[in-house]
Amino acid sequence: MQVVANNIAIEVEDSHPGDDSGRPAVLLVMGLGMQLVAWPPAFLDALVVAGFRVVAFDNRDVGLSQHFDHLGTPNLAWEAFKHRMRWRIRPAYTLHDMTRDALGVLDALNIPQAHVVGVSMGGMIAQRLALLAPERLLSLTSVMSSSGARGLPSPDSRVTRVLLGRPKTASLQAQIDHTVALFKVIGSPVFPSDEALMREHVALSIARSNHPQGFMRQIMAAVADDARAAELAGITTPTLVVHGRDDPLVPFACGEDTARRIPGAQLAGIDGMGHDLAPGVIARLLDLLVPHFEARHANKRGLCESA
């Protein structure tokens, strides 16, 4: 379904629409260029079975949410050069705008508070949400993400080549091949994904929406948000930072830096995890997330009883 959030159209999937039972909500924020369908069904189902209302959405400029083609397509090579030179980058919209979109989703669904989980760029948005509206977060989980601080390790060169590359032709098969090649190079070495299933999922995602221009504008929004690192000390939300120790896109040091900057944050490194949500990764992520959520509710009950 679509909602109006931050004055734009955002596509949302809600496991319990209109629920007023007091069931705790989990807001899932997806990463760069990825649609809400990138959340594995097994992961969503497990959270629902654990007793949570699960809300996922397409970030602006991807999937079925509002696109911003009228703002133009950035020249990534030129913008990368400007970033290296520390020149000012002017994105079509900012990570602050995308954070207000996420907050707008909670508003549109009348959800007063939620556990917020963001992966990759979604983790950056989740961090910003904890800074913007801490009263709306029950907990924060930043997965395979970064503080955005300068000087952190860069992606593996193989990843960069594939990430910034283009399909060989405009055919559907070439687009699938290119996306699968990227997923394989950033994937978890100890938790491999079935390639046939991966290809099927990529084909379905492309059929749902294929919008590379939005991906490029999102990149610029994330890169331009270089002041966030210094602000993370202001986060007061109970925070879990989860990161793969074998992540070739956002190296583990980025997760360590994020956890160091957020007061009281817990860092959980997963051996063999790359930059994906492979089945084996999901199991370990759930083992971390559910206790993190439940601890927050236990603390909240304790405070209410003592009052």
List pLDDT tens digits, range 211-226.
Answer: 999 999 999 999 999 8
CATH of the domain at 57: 3.40.50.1820
How confident is the model over 77-89, as a mean pLDDT? Answer: 74
The answer to whether residue 239 sits within a structural domain is yes
Task: Find out whether 51 and 294 touch, Cβ atoms under 8 Å.
Answer: no
Instruction: Give me the mean pLDDT over the 91-96 stretch.
Output: 95
- Looking at every residue in the chain, the average pLDDT score rounds to 93
pLDDT of 38 reads 97
In a domain, 205, yes or no: no
Asked if residue 273 is part of any domain, the answer here is yes
Provide CB contacts within 8 A for 10, sequence distance 6+: 2, 3, 4, 57, 58, 60, 65, 66, 101, 104, 105, 108
Tell me if 166 is assigned to some domain.
no
Task: Say if 180 falls within a structural domain.
Answer: no
Residue 236 DSSP label: -
Domain that holds residue 241: 2-155+212-306
What lies within 8 Å, CB to CB, of 298 at 6+ separation is none
Look up the pTM and report it: 0.94
Q: In what order do the strands lie in the sheet with 8-14?
A: 2-5, 8-14, 53-57, 25-29, 114-119, 137-143, 239-244, 266-270
Residue 158 has which token pair? 């193989």
What band does 81 get if pLDDT is binned at 50, 70 and 90?
confident
Confidence at residue 85, expressed as pLDDT on a 0 to 100 scale = 65
- Confirm whether 204 is domain-assigned: no
Whether residue 76 has pLDDT greater than 90: no
Terminal Cα distance for the chain, rounded:
40
Is 195 a domain residue?
no
Tell me which H or E stretch contains 128: helix 121-132
Whether pLDDT at 303 is above 80: no
Q: Beta partners for 243?
A: 269
* Beta strands per DSSP E along the chain: 2-5, 8-14, 25-29, 53-57, 114-119, 137-143, 239-244, 266-270
Residue 97 near residue 6 (C-beta atoms within 8 A): yes
266 inside domain: yes
Q: How confident is the model at residue 78 (pLDDT cuts 50, 70, 90)?
A: low
**Contacts with 2 (C-beta within 8 Å, 6 or more apart), sequence order:** 9, 10, 11, 12, 64, 65
- Higher pLDDT among residues 81 and 136, named by residue: 136
| Residue among 271, 278, 279 at smallest CA distance from 244 | 271
Report the number of distinct structural domains present in the chain.
1
Say if residue 80's pLDDT is above 80.
no
Three-state DSSP state, 196 = helix
Q: What is the DSSP pairing of strand 114-119 with strand 25-29?
A: parallel
